[in-house]
Structure 1
Amino acid sequence: MNFRILTLKIPALLCLFFNSATAQHRADTGNTSVYEPGALLQVKAASSTAAVSTVTGSRLYSTPSANITNTLYGKLPGLIVEQGSGEPGYDVANMYMRGMGTYDNTDLTIYVDGFQVTQSYFQYLSPSEIASVSILKDAAALATFGMRGANGVLWVVTKRGPVSKPSVQFQVRQGIQQATHINKPLRSYDYARLYNQAISNDAYSRNGNSYVWSPKYSNDQLQAYKNGTDTDVDWYDEALKGSTPYTDANVIFNGGDTATRYMLVLDYMKNRGLYDVASNASASNAQIQRFNLRANLDFSFFKVFEAKVDLGGRIEDRRYPNINGSALWNILASYPSNIYPVKDKTGNWSGTTVYPNNPVAMLKALGWMSTHDRTLQANFNLKEKLDFITPGLYLNEAVSFNTWTRNTSSKTATFARFYNGVRTTTDVTTDLVANGSSPSNQNDWKQADLTIGYDRTFGKHAFSAAVNYFASNFVEDWNGVFNGIGENTGNNIFHHYTNTSGRLHYAYDDRYIAEFGFSYSGSDNYAPNNRHGFYPAVSAGWIISNENFLKDNGVASYLKLRASVGKTGNENSNYGRYLYQQYYSTNGTFYTGNNGLTSNPGIAPAYVANPDIFAEQSMKYNVGADAVLFHNLSVTAEVFIDKRSNIVTYDSRSYMATLGSDFMFRNMGKVTNKGAELAVNYNGQAGKIGYTIGGMATYVKNKVNEWGEIAPVNAFSKTTGHAIGTPIGLVADGFYQLEDFNPDGSLVAGQPVPTFGAVQPGDLKYRDLDNSGFIDQNDVTKIGNPALPSLYYSFNAGINYQGFDCQVFFQGAAGGDYNLGSATQQVMAFTNNSNAYAIANGAWAYYPDQGIDTRKTATYPRLTTQANINNFRNSSFWLKKNNFLRIRNIELGYSLPPATLKRMHLTALRIFLNATNPVTWSSLLRDYNIDPETPAGYPGLKTYTGGMTLAF
């Protein structure tokens, strides 16, 4: 194989394969037969100095989901998971290790069976093929991953065959999925009622700076909307179904002896969308159908060689309506109920020039798009035990081939629509038959590593060490197109990476532990002189419970303190790759002239290249404690600091007069991230009743120390010194009232003058923080917390009795703020012909002749049909707490007793009922009808399933 490592002059030393054995939960830290992820060194969990948390695949299976990321909520201390869209194929959750340590790229590095994979490969693994998922968090765990370790590593181990007689396990579950919540707009009556307020408010200046009732909709029209004799369409009900089916099934074959072992997993999953449309030549519901195949083989021969062959493949078919999902949901959110019926009396799709995109027609008559993906990861591993040279010496060689191919097909159609002549213009278009194309994309990833290691115990001295060399060549082609004619001549993008790493572990008398790890990484992202980096780490541990003064005590059967410090890196940047090379854009713009500038199109530099750019750096500090108390209570606690430096930053403070440009990226950013973690679990038995109670919490807080900010006029406007994503805006100070204005509409003396546009009673009022007499951009300041929560937690409880079992799992978050203004369709009532939602019921209004006076009780600014720059600016008015608590999972099951199983020639039979995301508590949901995790767009999902596990 040919690894093009470009000009990486010295092979960079790789991450010691810190993790390849099946990891166990921290509850097992006192078990000396359990190993932390890291088979090459075989470091026992009891003597590990690293911060690692692990969850088993069986726990992930309890949450039915098409995407594995949606099974990780609250399962791993230190891993923050944010729910995203629930749309099939686009349902990946956002993941952060210990919060946000950088304002650049925060992606985790993901490994499956010892080799790095893309997020798309990981997210559609099946829980049935996973043995464990671990999150590696501190320098002791991450330093050997070099410049790919700073954001944390998700380490996945798939199932392997045991030494046992052949066995078969079959699992199946079937159920339905529903939206967790959809914030529907007001129906026609309430829309028209509030529209009358808005259009009357707009006439304020024309009516002599006073509010005079001047409605658009008459009382008769309002009554017709109310009794249903005029148009009143619930677009969500017309476009969506109340529920959609979900299915998954798997069969597992395993067994073997000491010479040969096997694990074969076949998995099937089908997940359909919520769109109320049948799949045919002109339309399709959203859906994903996936087949997973995994075959892991282990061979041992001549007492010297151990070989592994791992094959993990997937075939995945997706199908969607031929409209961008976010565009469709924007239409559903913004089209009022009273604009027109779904179809006119002759059967044509309705539409107007103002509202041309009938959402039901967009779903059912625009055609469809489909993708067909094929993925294969093939790993080959050979280990030689070199005890004949010296006991404990071994050599390990491994290679991995990972390929992904996508074929995309689409059929595009248009539909006839009737434009209602009463409300706009009249026109009838004609249907156009479907037509389409089939582009193709692919990527290939080749990886290889070589490890030499030593593992031996001399009396009270346990010593292990290893050195590893790793090379990676990732090639992606997103632009290749094959339409049946000619060749696929897309643009290949290469990613080359090498790493050499080492790890030395020493333990004395199962009490004192010391460890040193390092890596020397190289990436073609940077110029030759900056491609490599050295990343060392040291750690130590003390197993206090093995000291004579604590041995055999009745409280702490296991107690360990540990600490680590070290350096890691981050080569991924949201600004792109090869920032040291000069690139040019064909759609650039040049400006010429003296007093007046003229824009001229042409070829222009996208940015000014910086040959000195290099990888972001991270210094990590961690102190932790692991304990098993009273034999049943396990506790793990961590405190940590992550100091990022040299973050790639757009330097807006520099200006090169010779070029007239400031488009340069530099290593100048600094962020400090601090926090703590706690995980607790208790297992007990009361007679025939077994029970478990547990929980975890992660608290994080970061601060931007430097990011190239241009100093604002006022120090209180600075973003430097606050957390990443801290909202900056105006401080709201209630609403303008009638007494704030003179008869001519001007503000009374003493009121600061807003500079964002004219205001009138009912508009938002802001504080003049700099006492300038004006409300302007110089008055902005910190107004809340970032959207990402600072506290992320979960707790669970389970009980079992004579074959019956029940588990409940809660997960929540706190400390984050949600900006209502980011959901514009749901908040900016009537603006730009938009819709109106329940929040508009609290609008400021004063029409005493209509019995309307909300001056003292208003919770929303005055309604308007016009653009309002003043009211919808970033301000404290729109920031709301986004704390929430969900029941993530409830499961009730029954397992047949052993005697019955024996008579049926079975080893296991369990039936179960499961509910995922059935209940949510949130002030955002209660007060504003907005889901705390998916506030807009395709909603998150709650799932109800029943299933069975059968083994023989």
Structure 2
Amino acid sequence: MPGSNSGKILLIMKLTAVFTCLLTLNLSAKVHSQTSVTLRLKQVSLNQVFLEIEKKTSFRFLYNDKIVHDEAKVTLDVKDEGVLDVMKILLKQTSLDFIVRDDDLIVIVDKVKTNVGIPVHGIIKNSKGQPAEGVSVVEKGTQNGTTTNAKGEFSLSVANTDAVLVVSSVGFVTQEVELKGNTNIVVQLTEDFSKMNDVVVIGYGTARKKDLTGAVTTISEKDIQSRPVTNFADALQGRASGVQVAQTGGNLDGRFSIKIRGAGSVNQSISPLIVVDGVPLANDQFSTINPQDIESMTILKDASATAIYGARASNGVVIITTKRGAAGETKINFTASTGVDKVQKYFDVLTTDQQRRLFIAAYANTGGDSTTFKDLTNPAWSVNTNWQKLATRPGWRQSYNVSITGGKPNNSFAVSAGYLKRQGVIINTDITDYFARANNNMAIGKKLKISSSLAATYQVFNNPSSADAFNGGATFEQLVSAHSYTRPYDSLGNLTSAPNTALPYFGNNTNPLIGLTLNTVSTKQTRISGVIKADYEIIRGLTLSGNLGTDILLQSNHNFYPNYSIGNTAINPTGSVNFFSTTNRNWVGDITLTYRKLLGLHSITALAGYSAQQTTSEYYQVNGSGTTNTMLNQIPNQTNITGNSSEGSSGLIGSFVRIQYIYNDRYLLTGTVRRDGSSKFGPNNQYGVFPTAAAAWNISKEEFFKVSWINELKLRIGYGLTGNQNIADFGFLTKAGSSPYAFGNTAVLGNGISNAGQPNLQWEAAKQLDAGFDIVVLNGRINSTIDYYKKTSSKLLVSIPVPLTTGVGTNNPVVNLGSVLNEGFEFAINTQNLIGKFNWTTSFNISTNKNKVLDIGANAAGVPAVINGTLLGSPVNDFINQTQAGQPIGAFYMYRYLGVWQLDEAGEAAATKYNNLPFTPGDARYADLNGDHVIDAQDKQFVGSPQPTYYGGMNNTFSYADFSLGVLMSFSGGNKIYNVIRNLDARGVPFNQQLAEVANWWTPSNPSNIPKPAQGGNTTTFTGRVSDRFLEDGSYLRLSNVSLSYNIPVVKTSRLQEVRFTLAANNLFTLTKYKGMDPASASAGDQISGGLDLTPYPVTRYYYISIAIGF
């Protein structure tokens, strides 16, 4: 039943989430350890100590400048001590004390003023009944308070016996204890597993998660390191609601597509903005970022969260923060991993004898001579080459990373280096990556802080399988299509080409090993990125910040296709060589002024800034051909040399303001406005203004809210406008270019218009509404977030085709046209299921998305416009995807396949025609929607969308003693995939090797629903029509990763701090109805041509072992 598989998967996910929630209701808690710091300070002011603690932790300080200033300078030398313990050691040297509020606010008070009134004594115990040291006890409504000693004891003088004591400690639920005349009390703490106090990185700053008004998801270092990944995008897969990650084939260069809340543009880029340490990346080369260097990733999803980036934010923002050093002893961490890749799946094809009989039937059905195929003495019929296995092998990976961190309180550092080598599963494919990074933090005096980051990556990628078929390339599809009767080598062991016997030449008979063995397709890539940032505190609470960053990407390609012959047959008689060189430079500078002020219960944070960015690109290409020497692979050795080049640049400037207001942690408001100007648009439309506003209400802070098992309940709503400028430079200008044309018998270089300018081109705009709530229950045992969003993108930047007769070249102009809606829900939940010696945690997320084109324009006659997607070539010559109003972007628009015309339907078949050709029994049958007995474009219909309607993931972590087991699953559903391999190799036309599924083809005595074979004639024309015969359900549930780790106990006093072994596997199994290679990678691709499975390179199953050592 169509869609039943996706429905079952969705039901399984829902039941799992509900079961997990219910399971947590009767489980116990464990102690949450204090945040620890290492400090070595000699004769410094208290102010400086407080600043160091704020820099290294999420704690903030509130104090009277006068009482702190009057204190003498202090000396502090602590290593890996809890913050509250450090405060006790520190303040013993002073006449001051401290109180902890809201888990992360430390209030400094005068001891002398706290000991007045009625004395109260008590003992505070942790969740296990043991004495709790360092717990804050404060008389409510005052700054009168103290902390417990090592025995959990405290003494405090209060105003009267009806006072209320606020008892709080990091990692535990804050309690309010009414004395009611009792001056001796015992309080037991309850552990708080809430993550609402976590500090997250947002645009141009940080914030506590509890203070956010927008839709934000954070992936921690622990999540990233839980399984070795070679690409940061892979670490996002299945872990963040609203984020769809798919690998675009199994290519070694780590190409992923990332979509946040659907596709908001028709045929321009929908990739999110990637910001690394404050510097936006020039493109989506994700593999150039070493995952081992990442400390956290923050995904900004709604308008309120992304608006600070204005014109670049309509597709969402991913902020990557890399690891930085900390004061204290130098730490060295080393990780190494190695493993093997295996092809997940091979296609079943006909045996050579089955293919021979297919030839006989095909020729018989179309009146051809099949005598050649009936000759069983032909040696070709004894060959059964399995090209898929012949051209593949087990791949392997090895990875090594080392990092060193350390420094002093005023100067810390983090340096790292990495090496990654991957041997591909297709022969002669491999990739090597080298990584290096250096981060530094420095404080000059009390007011100036300077930080810097510098990273370099070098990559070498050899992939002859990426060569096009004309030059002997061998994508996996070509391995499937190559005939099994073809011999890879002759009797002397030399590469040969089929057929070398008296057989007709059909399609992909060129030996795929020739291209994989002789071709050179090499890419070298260097990336250098860096940023330097300075923060100067003008006065307390007012900070001036500035940063200057760059991202430079250099890429060169060398492709060499030597001439070669098989016997006396020239396969590639002239040979060719191509050189490509691309340079992208991105410079960005920002200056901001931030003001923070606490006024009693009021908190205000205001940010104002200015940003400037310049991007330049250069492209050079040189082509040569004509050499007959297979060793001469350089351009000067060629007889025919051509070339071209291009340059481009663009600039973006912006000014922005963001104001955040919080009252008593109860009411939160955020307003952001950004004005951007871009050189990509004409003088009249260069500037755009992007405002947003959001509000949140923490109901759980209200006096009337008395639900004890709900610790936090916050409602959020936001609305705003963001922009998109992801188009080529200077699209508003008409451009000229040069290209050769024939003049007599000579190729002459001429100039002409390469594309038509659009002077009124303007910003693509996205209006987005977001409403949601965050809830924490059972003392943090369950944390959940639910969001609803509705995003309407208008004035879409659309590339439209223009007839060549206009004389404006082949570059389609970009215009503003139409609008698109994305609407959906997001649900995420984190649970602590079991706590104690055996621990079990679960995180689950699921997102839905409805994509719909609202308007795409119309022609002069008022007929709604249609934008075509992928054209399936000869002999089909038909489009697979189309985009038009009322349907999703890139929806499948094709014939409905009804099976095969049977013998008793011969009359109706003969009366039904395609291209004026009648059908016969055994031919493919398609739905005649209008009943005119003609199968034509009027009979096409929308039959599905390439875009999933739901997706998500679930991660379970089990730990016992020093063992830990992680299980990550991901799922997606509601989408369709067009299986191109089945269209090419399951039509019953022996142009290619055919898949095994056609073996049961129709005959008069076998009335199956698989069309009869054909070679030429009407049947050949009919059988390969673009129809839903090859359109399949793309839903899947995947076991993405299983990892088992063991931490070897080490002597804490030794230099060795950690030794961890991990055994793991990726992509262990996939539950799906899809018949192709991989439903996850097949669902990737651009919007208007998405959901096509071309299988360029197989996605693998990966088994590996790793070790991590810390000193």
Q: TM-score, normalised by structure 1?
A: 0.84
Amino acid at match of 2:731: L
- Match of 2:1002? 844
Cα deviation code 1:613-664 (max 9, x no counterpart): 1011100100011111112111011100001110123578999999999986
Indicate how the Cα distance of structure 1 residues 608 and 21 shifts in structure 2: closer, same or farther if over 3 A, else same: farther
Instruction: Write the distance in 1 (CA, Å) between the matches of 2:551 and 2:1051.
Output: 41
- Match of 2:601? 460
Summarize the alignment of residues 567-586 of structure 1 with structure 2, pairs less than 5 Å apart: 567-573=721-727, 576-584=728-736
User: Radius of gyration: which is bigger?
Assistant: 2
The reply on whether 1:727 has 2:873 as its aligned counterpart is: no
- Match of 1:78? 242
Q: CA deviation at 1:559?
A: 1.2
Summarize the alignment of residues 422-461 of structure 1 with structure 2, pairs less than 5 Å apart: 427=568, 440-461=581-602
- Match of 1:15? none
Amino acid at match of 1:766: Y
What SS is found at the alignment partner of 2:930? Answer: coil
The reply on whether 1:896 has 2:1051 as its aligned counterpart is: no
Indicate how the Cα distance of structure 1 residues 76 and 906 shifts in structure 2: closer, same or farther if over 3 A, else same: same
What SS is found at the alignment partner of 1:146? Answer: helix
The runs of 5 or more residues in structure 1 that have no matched partner are 1-19, 207-212, 277-284, 419-426, 591-599
Instruction: Write the distance in 1 (CA, Å) between the matches of 2:328 and 2:832.
Output: 29
Instruction: Write the distance in 1 (CA, Å) between the matches of 2:571 and 2:802.
Output: 56
- Match of 2:760? 612
- Match of 1:94? 257
Amino acid at match of 1:910: R
Instruction: Write the distance in 2 (CA, Å) between the matches of 1:946 and 1:919.
Output: 19
Instruction: Write the distance in 2 (CA, Å) between the matches of 1:822 and 1:672.
Output: 32
- Match of 1:179? 343
Q: CA deviation at 1:762?
A: 1.8
Summarize the alignment of residues 580-729 of structure 1 with structure 2, pairs less than 5 Å apart: 580-584=732-736, 605-630=753-778, 631-649=780-798, 665-710=814-859, 719-729=884-894
Summarize the alignment of residues 531-570 of structure 1 with structure 2, pairs less than 5 Å apart: 531-550=686-705, 553-570=707-724
Is contact 1:290-1:317 (8 Å) kept? yes
Aligned residue among 262, 265, 283 for 2:413? 262
Aligned residue among 326, 332, 336 for 2:483? 336
- Match of 1:415? 564
What SS is found at the alignment partner of 2:312? Answer: coil
Cα deviation code 1:903-942 (max 9, x no counterpart): 65421111110100111111113xx676553442210111
- Match of 1:14? none
Q: CA deviation at 1:494?
A: 0.7
What SS is found at the alignment partner of 1:681? Answer: strand
Is contact 1:698-1:792 (8 Å) kept? yes
The runs of 5 or more residues in structure 2 that have no matched partner are 1-54, 60-170, 172-191, 500-504, 624-633, 637-642, 743-747, 867-881, 1083-1092
Percent of paired sites with the same residue? 22
Q: CA deviation at 1:501?
A: 1.1
Amino acid at match of 1:535: F
The reply on whether 1:309 has 2:452 as its aligned counterpart is: yes
The reply on whether 1:820 has 2:979 as its aligned counterpart is: yes
Amino acid at match of 2:350: L
What SS is found at the alignment partner of 2:207? Answer: coil
Amino acid at match of 1:343: D
Instruction: Write the distance in 1 (CA, Å) between the matches of 2:635 and 2:913.
Output: 65
- Match of 1:516? 671
Amino acid at match of 2:416: V
What SS is found at the alignment partner of 1:49? Answer: coil
Indicate how the Cα distance of structure 1 residues 267 and 434 shifts in structure 2: closer, same or farther if over 3 A, else same: farther
Indicate how the Cα distance of structure 1 residues 415 and 723 shifts in structure 2: closer, same or farther if over 3 A, else same: same
- Match of 2:1033? 881
What SS is found at the alignment partner of 1:572? Answer: coil
- Match of 1:761? 921
Q: CA deviation at 1:307?
A: 0.6
Q: CA deviation at 1:845?
A: 2.3
Aligned residue among 982, 990, 1014 for 1:864? 1014
Instruction: Write the distance in 1 (CA, Å) between the matches of 2:856 and 2:865.
Output: 18
What SS is found at the alignment partner of 1:910? Answer: strand
Amino acid at match of 1:772: D
Summarize the alignment of residues 263-302 of structure 1 with structure 2, pairs less than 5 Å apart: 263-276=414-427, 285-302=428-445
Instruction: Write the distance in 1 (CA, Å) between the matches of 2:478 and 2:858.
Output: 37
What SS is found at the alignment partner of 1:579? Answer: coil
Instruction: Write the distance in 2 (CA, Å) between the matches of 1:625 and 1:46.
Output: 11
Amino acid at match of 1:414: N
Indicate how the Cα distance of structure 1 residues 733 and 357 shifts in structure 2: closer, same or farther if over 3 A, else same: closer
Instruction: Write the distance in 2 (CA, Å) between the matches of 1:306 and 1:714.
Output: 56
Amino acid at match of 1:695: F
The reply on whether 1:61 has 2:209 as its aligned counterpart is: no
Indicate how the Cα distance of structure 1 residues 819 and 370 shifts in structure 2: closer, same or farther if over 3 A, else same: closer
Aligned residue among 382, 386, 397 for 1:234? 386
Indicate how the Cα distance of structure 1 residues 532 and 930 shifts in structure 2: closer, same or farther if over 3 A, else same: closer
Cα deviation code 1:28-79 (max 9, x no counterpart): 9955642232374543210110111111234233444433323321121111
Q: CA deviation at 1:359?
A: 1.3
What SS is found at the alignment partner of 2:1021? Answer: coil
Q: CA deviation at 1:558?
A: 1.2
- Match of 2:1074? 924
Is contact 1:197-1:845 (8 Å) kept? no
Instruction: Write the distance in 1 (CA, Å) between the matches of 2:272 and 2:621.
Output: 28
Indicate how the Cα distance of structure 1 residues 433 and 534 shifts in structure 2: closer, same or farther if over 3 A, else same: closer
Instruction: Write the distance in 1 (CA, Å) between the matches of 2:324 and 2:770.
Output: 33
What SS is found at the alignment partner of 2:998? Answer: helix
Is contact 1:649-1:708 (8 Å) kept? no
Q: CA deviation at 1:362?
A: 1.9
Q: CA deviation at 1:196?
A: 2.7
- Match of 1:200? 364
Aligned residue among 320, 325, 350 for 1:156? 320
Q: CA deviation at 1:244?
A: 1.4
Q: CA deviation at 1:800?
A: 0.5
Instruction: Write the distance in 1 (CA, Å) between the matches of 2:1071 and 2:920.
Output: 37
Instruction: Write the distance in 2 (CA, Å) between the matches of 1:524 and 1:273.
Output: 42
Instruction: Write the distance in 2 (CA, Å) between the matches of 1:659 and 1:905.
Output: 70
Instruction: Write the distance in 1 (CA, Å) between the matches of 2:925 and 2:741.
Output: 39
Instruction: Write the distance in 2 (CA, Å) between the matches of 1:622 and 1:164.
Output: 44
Cα deviation code 1:232-276 (max 9, x no counterpart): 1111222221x1110111111112332111111111111111233
Instruction: Write the distance in 2 (CA, Å) between the matches of 1:369 and 1:23.
Output: 50
Instruction: Write the distance in 1 (CA, Å) between the matches of 2:1048 and 2:416.
Output: 24
Is contact 2:240-2:952 (8 Å) kept? no
Indicate how the Cα distance of structure 1 residues 481 and 691 shifts in structure 2: closer, same or farther if over 3 A, else same: same
Is contact 1:69-1:92 (8 Å) kept? no
Q: Which has the higher contact order (CA 8 A, sep 6+)?
A: 1
Cα deviation code 1:772-793 (max 9, x no counterpart): 3432211222122x11211111
Indicate how the Cα distance of structure 1 residues 680 and 605 shifts in structure 2: closer, same or farther if over 3 A, else same: same
The reply on whether 1:370 has 2:511 as its aligned counterpart is: no
Is contact 1:733-1:767 (8 Å) kept? yes
Is contact 2:482-2:510 (8 Å) kept? no
> What value does the CA root-mean-square deviation take over the aligned residues?
3.6
Instruction: Write the distance in 2 (CA, Å) between the matches of 1:463 and 1:514.
Output: 10
Q: CA deviation at 1:219?
A: 8.2
Instruction: Write the distance in 1 (CA, Å) between the matches of 2:936 and 2:844.
Output: 47
Instruction: Write the distance in 1 (CA, Å) between the matches of 2:331 and 2:1023.
Output: 66
Indicate how the Cα distance of structure 1 residues 398 and 659 shifts in structure 2: closer, same or farther if over 3 A, else same: closer
Is contact 1:448-1:471 (8 Å) kept? yes
Instruction: Write the distance in 2 (CA, Å) between the matches of 1:80 and 1:22.
Output: 32
Indicate how the Cα distance of structure 1 residues 436 and 907 shifts in structure 2: closer, same or farther if over 3 A, else same: same
Instruction: Write the distance in 2 (CA, Å) between the matches of 1:812 and 1:476.
Output: 38
Is contact 2:350-2:999 (8 Å) kept? no
- Match of 2:653? 498
Cα deviation code 1:823-868 (max 9, x no counterpart): 543333435x21100221343222x4xxxx1x1x42x322222373
What SS is found at the alignment partner of 2:684? Answer: helix
